[in-house]
Amino acid sequence: MGLVTRKKVFSIMALCAMVGLLLFPVIVSLPSLAIGADAPDAAKKEEAKVEKGRDVYYKTEGIVVGAPAPKTVDGPRDYPRYNFESRVLLWFANQQHLYYGSFVLAVPIFCMVVEFMGVVTKDKALAKRYDQLAYDFIKISLTAYSLTAVLGGILIFTFLTLYPAFFGYLSSIFRPVMHIYALMFVAESGTLYIYYYGWDKMKEGFLKWIHLSMSVILNIIGTLLMFLANSWIGFMMSPAGVDEQGRFLGNIWHVLHTALWNPLNLHRILGNMAFGGGVVAAYAAYKFLASKTDEDRAHYDWMGYIAMALGVAFLIPLPFAGYWLMREVYAYRQQMGITLMGGLLAWLFIIQATMIGILFLSTNYYLWQAMGRMRGAEKYQRYIKYLVFILACGYLVFITPHTMVMTPAELKAMGGQQHPVLGNYGVMSAKNGGINVIITTTVLSFVWYMRGNKVSTVSWSKFGNIFMGCFFFFAYINIIGLAIYGYYIPANVRVGLSVPQVATTLSCLFFMFALNSVMMKGAKQMGPIEWGKISARSQYALIMLATAFTWMMGLMGYIRSSVRLFWHVNEIMRDNSPWAYTHTVGFAANMISFNVLFFWISILFVFWLGSLAAKKAPVDAKAGVPGSAPQPAGSH
C-alpha cells in the first residue's frame, strides 16, 4: 500500500471514528428507549395501579414516573452555603462557563467557513492564507476548550454543593439527557483533537476534503451539545413533560421540546457566532496594535476584518431571532413578557438597546475607517456625516425609555410619568423602526465598503447605481412610514408590521449585496486594499465591539434567568432561598461588568498560552500576507 493510499485509509478511518463518536451517545441511549417502549405494555397490565398526570404544557396525559419537585425550605439541607450569597457564586461560575462555551462552539464554525473558502479558492497564495487563518482560529479555541471543561466542572460542583435540592430534581428529570450530554462532550473532544492534530497531515487534495468534513461533524456535535444544554434552561423557564407537582410523565421529548427551546436554540447559535467573531476580532486588534512589522500588521488587519465580517453577518439577524424569542415568551406567559419588556426588567432592556446600538455603531465606524486603506473610497467620505446622522437618530429612538428616570420636581414639570414627545419613542412601534434604520444603514456602509476601490464597468452601471439608491431610499421610507403607522392601529396588527419592516431590511441586505456583487464583477480597481494601513482607532472599535458583545451576553443571560422571579422552575419549583429576589439594576450591572472583566483577563491569559504553544507559522504563508499580496476576493 502506497503512502498516499495509507493516508487516505487512515483519514477515512478517522472520519468514520468521528461519525461513530457522534452516533455513540444515540446508540447508548437506545436500550433505555427500548425499555421505554416496553413500559406501555407493563403499564397496561397494571393500569389500575399506576397514577396518571396531566402535562402542564402539552396537556396530554402520562404515567407518573418521577417524584414531585421538592418543596424546599431555607436551611442547610436545601440551601447549604458559605458566608456569601450562593446565587452570586453560581452566577459567576455559570457566566464564565457560558462565555467560554460560546467561544469554543463558535470558533469551529468560523474555522469551517474559512477552511472551506481556502479549499474552493483558486488563488493558491490566498488559499494558503485562508488555511492559516482557519488554523489560527482553531488554535485559539483549543486552549479555551480545556478551560471550558474545567469551568463546566466548577459549575456542576457549585450546583451540587449550593443548590443540591434543585440540582437533584433537575437531574432526576434530565437523567438520560445529561448522560447523552456527557458522551457528546467526549465525542466533541475526540473530534476536536483529531481535527486539530490532523491539520498538517491532511492538508492537500482528497485528504483536505476529509479534513473539512471533520469540521462539519465537529460543528454538528457542538451544536447538538448546545441544544441539550438549552433544554435545561428552556425547562426552567417554560416547563413541559411534567405535571403540576413537577412529576416526570415519562416523555423525554416533551421535557426537551418546551415552548422556548427552539427560539432559545436559534438565538444562542446566532449569538455565539456574533460573540465568537467579536472575540477573535479583538484578538486580531490586540495583535495588530502590538505588531512591530508591516507584515504582521497586514496579517492581523485582515484577520480582524474577516472575524468582524463573520461576527456581524450573524449580528444582523440576531435582533430578529430575539424578537421571535420574545414573541414566544409572550405567547407562553403574558406576565413573563410584561415583566421583561414593560415591567420589572424593562430598564435592563433599555441598557440592552444601548449595547445593541454600540455594536452597530462600532461596526459602521470600523467600516468607514477601513475605507481609508482603499484608494478610490474617498468619494464616499463626504457622505459619511449623513450616515452618522441617520444612525444617531435611529439609536436615540431605540434607547429612549418609556418611563424616565427623574426627580419628583422634574416629574411635576413634565406633568406625568410619560413625556408627551419622547414617550412616543418608548414604545415598540418606534423601536422597531429605530433598529431597522440602524441595520439598513449598516448594510449601506457595507455596500460602500465593498465597492470602495472599484468602479463598475458593466454597461448598466448608471442604472444600477440609481436603482440601488432608490432601493435604499424607499427602504428607509417604508421602515419609518410603518413605524409611524404603528401608532394608529391595534396592537396585534402593529406586531405584524415588524414583518414588512424586517423584510425590507433583509431585502436591502440580500438584494443589494447580490446586485452590488454583479455590478462589481470585473470592475476597474482604483488601487489595492493596503492591508495594515488602517487607523488605530479602527482597532479600538473592534475591541469595543467585542466588549459590548460580552457585556450584552452577560446582561441578556441575567435577564433571561431573572424573569423566573422566585421560581427555580417556573410555576413548578419555588426558590425558597434568601436570594429569591431580583437584584437592583446597579448591582446587576456591576456583577455583569465583573464577569466581563474576568473573562477578558482570563482570555488574555489563554491567548498568551496559545502563543507559547504556537506552531511555527509557515514562512511562505506569512510572506504571502497582504501588502504585496493580492486582495482576497472573498474578503470584501
Partner 1 sequence: MKALMSVGALVGAIALLLLVGMILDVVPSNTVRLVEGYMPIQMLLEVACFVAGFTGLSYMLSSMGMAVPRFWQGIGFWAFVLLYLKFRVYPPIPFSVRAMYGTVSLVAVFMWVSANEDDWKKFKQPIMNVLDAQSGANKMLRYAYLVLIPVLVGFTSFNAMKPKSEEPIELRTVHPAPPASTKVHGKTYTLQTSQNPYRVNPEGKFDQEYSNKLIVEQGMGRLMAPNANPWDEKNQGYLKYVKEGGEIFFQNCHFCHGDNLNGRGLHAFAFNPIPANFTDPGTIAQLQETFIFWRVAKGGIGLPNEGFPWASVMPPWEQHLTVDEIWKVILFEYWHTGYYPRTWD
DSSP state of 248: B
Under the criterion CB under 8 A, does residue 576 sit at the interface with partner 1? no
Neighbouring residues of 463: CB distance < 8 A, sequence distance ≥ 6 = none
Nearer to partner 1, 40 or 469 (CB): 469
Under the criterion CB under 8 A, does residue 2 sit at the interface with partner 1? no
Q: How far is the CB of 519 from partner 1 (least distance, A)?
A: 24
Under the criterion CB under 8 A, does residue 419 sit at the interface with partner 1? yes
Q: How far is the CB of 336 from partner 1 (least distance, A)?
A: 7
SS3 459: coil
Site for partner 1 in 306-345 (CB under 8 A): 330-331, 333-336, 338-339, 342-344
Contact 124/627 with Cβ under 8 angstroms?
Answer: no
Under the criterion CB under 8 A, does residue 399 sit at the interface with partner 1? yes
Under the criterion CB under 8 A, does residue 412 sit at the interface with partner 1? yes
Residue 144 grid cell = 479555551
Nearer to partner 1, 342 or 634 (CB): 342
Q: How far is the CB of 31 from partner 1 (least distance, A)?
A: 40
Site for partner 1 in 476-505 (CB under 8 A): 480, 484, 487-492
Nearer to partner 1, 147 or 387 (CB): 387
Picking from 525, 515, 439, 501, the residue whose alpha carbon sits closest to that of residue 470 is 515
Site for partner 1 in 550-569 (CB under 8 A): 565-566
Contact 412/389 with Cβ under 8 angstroms?
Answer: no
Neighbouring residues of 263: CB distance < 8 A, sequence distance ≥ 6 = 321, 324, 325, 327, 328
Under the criterion CB under 8 A, does residue 590 sit at the interface with partner 1? no
Pick the stretch among 10-18, 66-74, 149-157, 369-377 that binds partner 1 (CB under 8 A).
369-377
The CA–CA distances, whole Å, from 219 to 187, 509, 514 equal 11, 26, 28
Q: Which residue has the cell 466581563?
A: 596
The CA–CA distances, whole Å, from 61 to 203, 332, 574 equal 55, 20, 24
Contact 278/102 with Cβ under 8 angstroms?
Answer: no
Q: How far is the CB of 369 from partner 1 (least distance, A)?
A: 8
Site for partner 1 in 206-225 (CB under 8 A): none
Using CB under 8 A as the binding criterion, the count of chain residues that bind partner 1 stands at 80
Under the criterion CB under 8 A, does residue 388 sit at the interface with partner 1? yes
Neighbouring residues of 231: CB distance < 8 A, sequence distance ≥ 6 = 174, 177, 255, 256, 257, 258, 261
Mark 138-177 with x for binding to partner 1 (rule: CB under 8 A) and - for no binding: ----------------------------------------
**Backbone φ, ψ for residue 347 (5° rounding):** -65, -30
What are 62's strand-pairing partners? 53
Picking from 165, 532, 553, 77, the residue whose alpha carbon sits closest to that of residue 351 is 553
The residue type at 109: I
**Backbone φ, ψ for residue 493 (5° rounding):** -75, -40
Where helices occur in 511-584 by DSSP H, the ranges are 513-519, 536-562
Q: Among 4, 39, 406, 470, which residue sits at the site for partner 1 (rule: CB under 8 A)?
A: 406
Q: Following CA atoms 177, 181, 187, 188 in sequence, which dihedral angle do they give, to the nearest 10 degrees? A: 140
Q: Among 161, 213, 424, 465, which residue sits at the site for partner 1 (rule: CB under 8 A)?
A: 424
Picking from 59, 137, 493, 505, the residue whose alpha carbon sits closest to that of residue 302 is 137
Nearer to partner 1, 220 or 393 (CB): 393
Nearer to partner 1, 93 or 367 (CB): 367
Nearer to partner 1, 122 or 382 (CB): 382
Q: Among 371, 509, 569, 588, which residue sits at the site for partner 1 (rule: CB under 8 A)?
A: 371
Q: Among 423, 532, 554, 624, which residue sits at the site for partner 1 (rule: CB under 8 A)?
A: 423
Count of alpha carbons within 13 angstroms of residue 339, beta-carbon side: 15
Query: What span, in angstroms and rounded, lies between the C-alpha atoms of 375 and 372?
Result: 8
Nearer to partner 1, 82 or 488 (CB): 488
Q: Among 465, 561, 582, 602, which residue sits at the site for partner 1 (rule: CB under 8 A)?
A: 582
Nearer to partner 1, 408 or 522 (CB): 408
Nearer to partner 1, 416 or 522 (CB): 416
Under the criterion CB under 8 A, does residue 410 sit at the interface with partner 1? yes
**Backbone φ, ψ for residue 624 (5° rounding):** -80, 0
Under the criterion CB under 8 A, does residue 289 sit at the interface with partner 1? no
Q: How far is the CB of 268 from partner 1 (least distance, A)?
A: 25
Query: What span, in angstroms and rounded, lies between the C-alpha atoms of 479 and 393?
Result: 14
Nearer to partner 1, 1 or 421 (CB): 421
Under the criterion CB under 8 A, does residue 574 sit at the interface with partner 1? no
Q: How far is the CB of 187 from partner 1 (least distance, A)?
A: 42
Pick the stretch among 66-74, 79-87, 240-248, 377-385 that binds partner 1 (CB under 8 A).
377-385
Under the criterion CB under 8 A, does residue 507 sit at the interface with partner 1? no
Pick the stretch among 28-36, 110-118, 217-225, 403-411 that binds partner 1 (CB under 8 A).
403-411
Nearer to partner 1, 236 or 629 (CB): 236
Under the criterion CB under 8 A, does residue 405 sit at the interface with partner 1? yes
Q: Which residue has the cell 396537556?
A: 59
Q: How far is the CB of 581 from partner 1 (least distance, A)?
A: 8
Site for partner 1 in 264-283 (CB under 8 A): none
Pick the stretch among 183-191, 306-314, 356-364, 519-527 that binds partner 1 (CB under 8 A).
356-364
Site for partner 1 in 613-632 (CB under 8 A): none
Neighbouring residues of 480: CB distance < 8 A, sequence distance ≥ 6 = 433, 437
Residue 208 grid cell = 483536505
**Backbone φ, ψ for residue 383 (5° rounding):** -95, -5
Contact 567/574 with Cβ under 8 angstroms?
Answer: yes
Nearer to partner 1, 8 or 333 (CB): 333
Under the criterion CB under 8 A, does residue 548 sit at the interface with partner 1? no
Under the criterion CB under 8 A, does residue 391 sit at the interface with partner 1? yes
Site for partner 1 in 523-542 (CB under 8 A): 535, 537
Count of alpha carbons within 13 angstroms of residue 58, beta-carbon side: 20
Under the criterion CB under 8 A, does residue 401 sit at the interface with partner 1? yes
The CA–CA distances, whole Å, from 545 to 106, 373, 542, 633 equal 16, 20, 5, 25
Residue 200 grid cell = 498538517
Q: Among 2, 31, 415, 522, which residue sits at the site for partner 1 (rule: CB under 8 A)?
A: 415
Under the criterion CB under 8 A, does residue 260 sit at the interface with partner 1? no
Q: Among 385, 459, 522, 612, which residue sits at the site for partner 1 (rule: CB under 8 A)?
A: 385
DSSP state of 63: E
The residue type at 255: V
Q: How far is the CB of 327 from partner 1 (least distance, A)?
A: 10
